[in-house]
Chains A and B, each alone.
Chain A
Amino acid sequence: MTHPFDQIPARSSGSKHSGGAGSGPRILATRRLSRLPSTFWVLAVLVILSVAVTLLSPAFGLGEMSTSFVKTLGKTLCLCLAALAMDIVWGYTGILSLGHMAFFALGGYMIGQWLMYARTEEIVVQALSSAPIPATATEVAQGVATQIFGVVGGSDMPWIWGFAYSLPLQLALVVAVPGLLALVFGWLAFRSRVTGVYLSILTQAMTLALSLYLFQNDSGLRGNNGLSGLQNVPGLGAVTQDVLSIWFFWASALALALAYLGLTWIISGKFGSVLRAIRDDEARVRFLGYPVEVYKLFVFTLTAVICALAGALYYPQAGIINPAELAPIASIYLAVWVAIGGRGRLYGAVIGAAFVSLLSSWFTGGRAPAVPLGFYTIDWVDWWQVLLGLSFVAVTLLAPKGIGGLFDRALGLHTPNRKGAPLGPAEGALQEQEAVE
């Protein structure tokens, strides 16, 4: 990664506002969240948004906003959460993972197993209760299995559904399955020092392998049918979708806020300093005595778990999950959001994800007005992808700092002027071979 990520809104920019240059020791003060203006603003916006959505919602407010839009906003917050994780792993640590949406979807699958199993069980028990003889546990289990796996021609519960009856166990799996996958994959990849573009391709391959595996009918997760009916929460049959949507929105907002605070804390301290150092010059960090691979593995796994949690909140709002959700392209979009929002700054990731995903659903939802050109009418449903692709190229080329860069300009922050020298650490700093040969 040979590109500096401008002012990190951590302690350096904090110091600029608080004391200015020259006041040496002050900059060494321990992290203080209040010093970070972006954190305050992000949290404030989240609170305002939550209040506004609640007041406009059909369940607790005026009903100006449709339930489906509440869900869209809730889902967007989950995507922002995934983007936060992506920013940590890419923007801060320099690992361009093209697999984090796979962890996101895995989280969704894990929670989806419980949602679907418990909900189907309710229905089966309901159906069997009208019979003269009460059902045995085996009969209920068989009924559930037939209900869930009828579509793929099965009637047995695969072993991976072993914990699906229990919410706590399945919640543990939301963390454990993607976490373990990330841990094992990351360990394999990092220990063999696969970096840069290679690592990106390898993560993409992992995602593809996972999605191809899930596409099979005998994967035990209903093949390309995926899991459905996830919007119905077992035990809450009496609660309407209007109310549920707001609950999930709150949960998503809370999760995003907590993650934002937690991650801000992490990256504003020495840990964040090590991460940025790894991003800019991994070998140098190694020579300082830091176990770079352990750090990378830690970050890779942590962010995978965050993505999984985001997915576990997202899919009950989406209602359905299938293997297409973890196609490699989804993970690339995640990178696109972070890039457009601005890498290496947490609020950039949030803005990018919210902006692009909302814009995308506006364009692809057919709500954007078509542009008549006389000889041809641009229908945005067809042309949005083209626009997105090209604008992504434009952002990469012209505004590598993304939307976040605009804030810098507005606030008058700028990076060191290196007079046209290539960005990042001095070139060839560790390539002594040039000097020898």
Chain B
Amino acid sequence: MRALFLAVLLACFGLQTHADTVAQIANAHAADLAKPSRQTIGPVIADLAASGDPMAAKLLEAWGNKALGQRKSDKAFFVLAPDAAGYALTDLTGADAGTAPKAEITELKPNAGVRGLIASALVQFTLSDPDPQRRAQALDSIAQDPKAESLAPLRASVQTETDPQLKAQKQRLERLLILRFDPDPAARVAAIASFGADLGLDLRGALNPLLATTLVASAGDASQLNIARTLHPGHDLAAADAYDLLVTAGAAPARLTHEAQKKALAAHIVDGKVGTVPVADLTDQSARDRAYTDLEAAGTVPTAATDDEVAAAIAAHQFYEVYAEPNRSVTTAAQAALAKISLAVGAMQVADLTLDGLSLAAIYFLAAIGLAITFGVMGVINMAHGEFITMGAYTGYVVQQIVPGYTASLVVAFPLAFALTFAAGVALERLVIRHLYKRPLETLLATFGISIALQQLFKNIFGTQARPLTSPPWLDGALTFNDVLSISYIRIAIFALALMFLAFFLYLMKRTRLGLEVRAVTQNPAMAASMGINPDRINMLTFGLGSGIAGIAGVAIGLFAKVTSELGTDYIVQSFMTVVVGGVGNIWGALAGATMIGGLQKAIEWLNPSNTLAAQTYMILFIILFIQFRPRGIIALKGRAAGD
């Protein structure tokens, strides 16, 4: 693809005449072109680079892509393109040279090492390419695979760079290359210092290899080595590992492994005995050692290194961790720079973690707010709450199948999900929960029945595989502050949604007639009823509202999570925890609970990043312990209102 692109581009810019054309160079180096090796390719590339002929890049490109061929009849070189007749040929002046059957062409297939050299040589051409996009690509490819050879061409191209952004990039990359590859240590140290506590991943990527160490055993003078630290066998280096190092270095004979010993013993069984030891007795290591010693004494097996010899060999050597980078001033500077960076990275990670925790908190808050209403305000536990979340997510999916355009479909999906789950909630309240207000544990079980029925129903309708709920393009991507700190737009959107719901809920409860009535019914149903409030209606509406919010949360969650019939189940326990930890009957409690659980989960994941399962386990354990100290949650209703 790239090759084609390049070819077209170069063709457009036409040909210029030069002292040495590519064709001449190719002819001069015909043998090296045809049978390239890493040793011989250097001059070819140097000449091509010097030619200034735009065809040079094209030739190299074709060569590297195994699209360069030599006509058998006249040994002329052509750039090949597949064609019905075999190959379409382009000669080295860029002119069309007709076609040729495959049999007439020898394809040149340089090996991988040579292709690597060709590719890096190509970079210098593209660095000065007229097209800024191509130059940017070249920069990327250098940045991805920094090499000493790239430094000179890069440096050369900096002066001529016209695009200010690219110029800055080039200068940065130049410094990165200097700090790794410049022959002058002082220049490298200066380059390192020039970055300060820069957070770029590329900088850390450049610094870390400088500090790579290898384990080295040395019997003599080690003053030439750039030593990171000295190791002491038996303390910070296991004696066995130390000896293995000597064995690998060829400084000591291999030790007899148990496996080899067993093999040797098995090879020397005579009359049911090995040496003087009966085979049946060889069931423990000391017996095997005795048998082997017998064999050694008899001279039938080579003598293995004894423990004393091993100890002596180890004692005779010093063990070091040695920097691969020989220059001490460079490693010292790199170390100092990395220390500064890691401090800054740490601070950014804390900020990033906070953002992560907040966005997770927003998700939990969204999932739990409906529950906080039904569980907290009404004292009704709804195990089917998770399925209402799923229902919302599936609604979003179905709407996307019908309504074109992701933005439009979301605009339709949110109210529709609310309406559907609101209706489902009202139906559930009317048909089931109303009859169980005095029996909370049975409400739990009955709604659980609803939950398994709904879950299976989703499975029957939508299948078990995940359904996509695609977010609109304007929610793609992330708000990036630097290489450490970034947050995806979708999480920002969910955060905003959570805040909206908080505001909505507060408005509803504190500023509307409905909220007043809900609070009245919560606090004293009998009194509320005598004041002309219909508790039945209020309960129904409250439950519908809680369920409807679950539906909206479902659409939001579906945008980033896999929409399966088990979507809700993944959130239900966390939602309950959010409500319980936060404190029942209080929206601020749900907020505090969500913040705590979200933050905690992220913090534990950060401490143990490899294992999100363990993080959840520890979080639940923490919650169980937390309940010990604050049984009524973070924001507890105190005193008599809390009841018993």
Binding site for B on A (CB under 8 A): 1-3, 94, 96, 131-138, 185, 188-189, 191-194, 196-198, 200-202, 204-206, 208-210, 212-213, 215-216, 218, 283, 328-329, 332, 335-336, 339, 382-393, 396-397, 400, 422-424, 430-431, 433, 436-437
CA distance A283 to B643 in the complex (A): 12
B452, A388: Cβ atoms closer than 8 Å: yes
Binding site for A on B (CB under 8 A): 262, 265-266, 269, 274, 279-280, 282-285, 288, 381, 432, 435-436, 438-442, 444-446, 448-457, 459-460, 573, 576-577, 580, 611, 613-614, 616-617, 620-621, 623-625, 627-629, 631, 640, 643-644
Contact of A437 with B640 at beta-carbon distance under 8 Å, contacts A383-B460, A389-B453 already known? yes
A205, B614: Cβ atoms closer than 8 Å: no
CA distance A397 to B446 in the complex (A): 8
Give the nearest-CB partner of B573 in chain A: A208
Give the nearest-CB partner of A198 in chain B: B580
Contact of A132 among B266, B449, B457 (CB under 8 A): B266
CB distance from B120 to the nearest CB of A (A): 38
Contact of A212 with B450 at beta-carbon distance under 8 Å, contacts A3-B442, A336-B445, A423-B438 already known? no
Contact of B432 among A138, A191, A387, A397 (CB under 8 A): A397
Give the nearest-CB partner of A423 in chain B: B438
CA distance A204 to B620 in the complex (A): 10
Given contacts A335-B445, A385-B455, A388-B453, list 19 more A-B pairs with CB under 8 A: A132-B279, A133-B265, A133-B266, A134-B279, A192-B631, A197-B440, A198-B580, A200-B444, A202-B627, A209-B617, A210-B617, A212-B620, A329-B452, A336-B445, A384-B456, A385-B456, A389-B452, A389-B454, A390-B449
Contact of B613 among A133, A215, A397 (CB under 8 A): A215
CB distance from A284 to the nearest CB of B (A): 12
Q: Which residues of chain A are near B613, meaning CB under 8 Å? A: 212-213, 215-216
CA distance A205 to B448 in the complex (A): 16
CB distance from A83 to the nearest CB of B (A): 14
Contact of A389 with B644 at beta-carbon distance under 8 Å, contacts A205-B623, A205-B624 already known? no
Interface centre among B274, B435, B620, B628 (most CB of A within 10 A): B620
A2, B432: Cβ atoms closer than 8 Å: no
A392, B446: Cβ atoms closer than 8 Å: yes
Give the nearest-CB partner of B437 in chain A: A422
Q: Which residues of chain B are near A206, meaning CB under 8 Å? A: 620, 624
Contact of A96 among B438, B444, B617 (CB under 8 A): B444
Can you name 25 A-B pairs with beta carbons within 8 Å?
A96-B445, A132-B266, A133-B265, A133-B274, A133-B288, A196-B441, A200-B441, A200-B444, A201-B573, A202-B624, A205-B577, A209-B621, A210-B617, A216-B611, A336-B445, A336-B449, A383-B460, A385-B452, A385-B456, A386-B457, A392-B448, A392-B452, A396-B446, A430-B644, A433-B643
Q: Which residues of chain B are near A437, meaning CB under 8 Å? A: 640
Q: Which residues of chain A are near B284, meaning CB under 8 Å? A: 136-137
CA distance A205 to B262 in the complex (A): 52
CB distance from B121 to the nearest CB of A (A): 43
Q: Which residues of chain A are near B640, meaning CB under 8 Å? A: 433, 436-437
Give the nearest-CB partner of B633 in chain A: A198
CA distance A396 to B576 in the complex (A): 22
Give the nearest-CB partner of B291 in chain A: A133
Q: Which residues of chain A are near B274, meaning CB under 8 Å? A: 133
A192, B644: Cβ atoms closer than 8 Å: no
A392, B456: Cβ atoms closer than 8 Å: no
Contact of A197 with B449 at beta-carbon distance under 8 Å, contacts A328-B573, A382-B456, A385-B455 already known? no
Contact of A396 with B438 at beta-carbon distance under 8 Å, contacts A133-B279, A385-B453 already known? no
Give the nearest-CB partner of B579 in chain A: A201
CB distance from B264 to the nearest CB of A (A): 10
CB distance from A287 to the nearest CB of B (A): 12
Q: Which residues of chain A are near B436, meaning CB under 8 Å? A: 396-397
Give the nearest-CB partner of B623 in chain A: A205
Interface centre among A198, A210, A382, A433 (most CB of B within 10 A): A198
Q: Which residues of chain A are near B438, meaning CB under 8 Å? A: 2, 422-424
CB distance from B609 to the nearest CB of A (A): 14
CB distance from A48 to the nearest CB of B (A): 32
B573, A205: Cβ atoms closer than 8 Å: yes
CB distance from B226 to the nearest CB of A (A): 37
Q: Which residues of chain B are near A185, meaning CB under 8 Å? A: 624
Contact of A133 with B449 at beta-carbon distance under 8 Å, contacts A212-B613, A393-B432, A431-B643 already known? no
Q: Which residues of chain B are near A191, meaning CB under 8 Å? A: 628
For the complex of A and B, 10 pairs with smallest distance between CB atoms:
A389-B453, A392-B449, A385-B456, A209-B620, A389-B452, A393-B449, A396-B446, A132-B266, A213-B617, A389-B449
CA distance A328 to B643 in the complex (A): 29
B624, A1: Cβ atoms closer than 8 Å: no
CA distance A430 to B644 in the complex (A): 9
CA distance A431 to B643 in the complex (A): 8
Contact of A205 with B620 at beta-carbon distance under 8 Å, contacts A196-B440, A212-B613 already known? yes
B441, A188: Cβ atoms closer than 8 Å: no
Q: Which residues of chain A are near B442, meaning CB under 8 Å? A: 3, 396, 400
Contact of A192 with B628 at beta-carbon distance under 8 Å, contacts A386-B453, A389-B450 already known? yes
Q: Which residues of chain A are near B440, meaning CB under 8 Å? A: 196-197
Q: Which residues of chain A are near B265, meaning CB under 8 Å? A: 133
Q: Which residues of chain B are near A393, meaning CB under 8 Å? A: 432, 446, 449-450, 453
CB distance from B636 to the nearest CB of A (A): 13
A389, B451: Cβ atoms closer than 8 Å: yes
A431, B644: Cβ atoms closer than 8 Å: yes
CB distance from A343 to the nearest CB of B (A): 10
Interface centre among B279, B282, B441 (most CB of A within 10 A): B441
CA distance A386 to B459 in the complex (A): 10
B441, A389: Cβ atoms closer than 8 Å: no
CA distance A105 to B454 in the complex (A): 27
Q: Which residues of chain B are near A132, meaning CB under 8 Å? A: 266, 269, 279
Q: Which residues of chain B are near A216, meaning CB under 8 Å? A: 611, 613-614
A2, B439: Cβ atoms closer than 8 Å: yes
Contact of A386 among B269, B288, B456 (CB under 8 A): B456
CB distance from A27 to the nearest CB of B (A): 30
A204, B573: Cβ atoms closer than 8 Å: yes
CA distance A213 to B580 in the complex (A): 22
A382, B460: Cβ atoms closer than 8 Å: yes
Contact of A194 among B456, B457, B631, B643 (CB under 8 A): B631
CA distance A49 to B643 in the complex (A): 50
B453, A390: Cβ atoms closer than 8 Å: yes
B580, A396: Cβ atoms closer than 8 Å: no
Contact of A134 among B283, B450, B620, B627 (CB under 8 A): B283
CB distance from A94 to the nearest CB of B (A): 8
CB distance from A57 to the nearest CB of B (A): 34
B446, A131: Cβ atoms closer than 8 Å: no
Contact of A212 with B576 at beta-carbon distance under 8 Å, contacts A200-B444, A385-B455, A389-B452 already known? no
CA distance A209 to B644 in the complex (A): 28
CB distance from B451 to the nearest CB of A (A): 7
Q: Which residues of chain A are near B269, meaning CB under 8 Å? A: 132-133
CA distance A409 to B274 in the complex (A): 83
CA distance A218 to B620 in the complex (A): 19
Q: Which residues of chain A are near B624, meaning CB under 8 Å? A: 185, 188-189, 202, 205-206, 209
Give the nearest-CB partner of B281 in chain A: A134
CA distance A190 to B628 in the complex (A): 9
Give the nearest-CB partner of B639 in chain A: A433
Give the nearest-CB partner of A394 in chain B: B449
Give the nearest-CB partner of A338 in chain B: B445
CA distance A65 to B449 in the complex (A): 34
Contact of A397 with B283 at beta-carbon distance under 8 Å, contacts A132-B269, A213-B613 already known? no
Give the nearest-CB partner of B631 in chain A: A192
CA distance A3 to B436 in the complex (A): 11
A392, B381: Cβ atoms closer than 8 Å: no
B439, A3: Cβ atoms closer than 8 Å: yes
Q: Which residues of chain A are near B457, meaning CB under 8 Å? A: 386
Contact of A197 with B266 at beta-carbon distance under 8 Å, contacts A205-B623, A393-B449, A393-B450 already known? no
Q: Which residues of chain B are near A192, meaning CB under 8 Å? A: 627-629, 631
